[in-house]
Amino acid sequence: MADRIPNIRLSSGHSMPMLGVGTYSCSKLNEVGNAVRTAVQIGYRYIDTTSTYETEQEIGVTIKQLIKEGRIKREELFIVTKVSGQCHKPEQVEPACRTSLEALNMDYIDLYLIHFPLANTDQERTQSTVTDYLDTWRAMEKLVDKGLVKSIGVSNFNIQQLERILTMAGLKHKPANNQVEITPCLSQDELLQYSLQNGISTTGCGPFGAPGQTYVSKDSPDCLEHPTIVNIANKYGKSATQVILRWGIQRGYAVVPKGTNPFCLVQNMDIFNFQLSTDDMQSMLALDDGYKVNKEQSQSQTQHVK
């Protein structure tokens, strides 16, 4: 089933699947490992994590076992992880990358991202530093040159922050990807179009608006129950989650919903046998009211070193 998932050609020359599995907020014992095993067996090849999720080691153990069993080859997988804001200083970037490689038990990372443009000194991200992400980017470029990572990119960056990287002096490797929150209530259309025009692929995380999460405001919109989306889903005989994922695929960006439930993993994969009409695409785009679930993203996108 892996061949059903289309790929995006990155500016680095490598290809990234347009559908992956996110591993955010997976704290139960073996939750991530079981999810990754199920996902790979179903046909997923793109696994998304970060050092701050503390899931890298469990992912690594599971993948190593799957390779040993002959179920997958390392080169068939696309592994994404991120450097945390605590490691933005240039001299911290390579050690952070090597720590992730050791945890994942891998020789290289397919896509390594700067998690947030705003550096910080503590895990709770309450104390920011003055490290310029351009200096961080220069250190990221060296990871590509050393063969530790195949591609590099960013996460939670806005247009102005992307522009600073693209126009920096001596740029060797442009961002291959920008991972940001995208939901029907936050279409990020301007950012998406800018990225497409500049050869930067986009990954949409949290595509459903994080339903059921305790940190989400009670007043936040529920994308999965919005009448427009429910009506479109009924029209195609699909679920609201499938319609939202399909909407993202047709807009040209990759989607990485969190996936631990086997039924949901199968359902999320079943989005390549239908296509939303232009009118339905526009109806969903019209739901954008600028609501951000990830308030931390909002803060980091409004601050950047000049």
Q: Which residues are catalytic?
A: 53
Q: Helix, strand, coil proportions of the chain in percent (round to 5)? A: 40, 15, 40
225, burial (CB in 10 Å: exposed 0-12, middle 13-18, buried 19+): exposed
d(CA 23, CA 167): 33
Q: Measure CA of the first residue to CA of the last residue in the chain; give whole Å.
A: 46
Select from 259, 284, 295, 250 the least CA-distant residue to 42.
Answer: 259
Extract the runs of DSSP E, i.e. beta strands, from the chain. Answer: 7-9, 15-17, 20-22, 46-48, 78-83, 109-114, 149-155, 177-181, 201-205, 254-256
Within 13 Å and on the Cβ side, how many CA atoms surround 132? 8
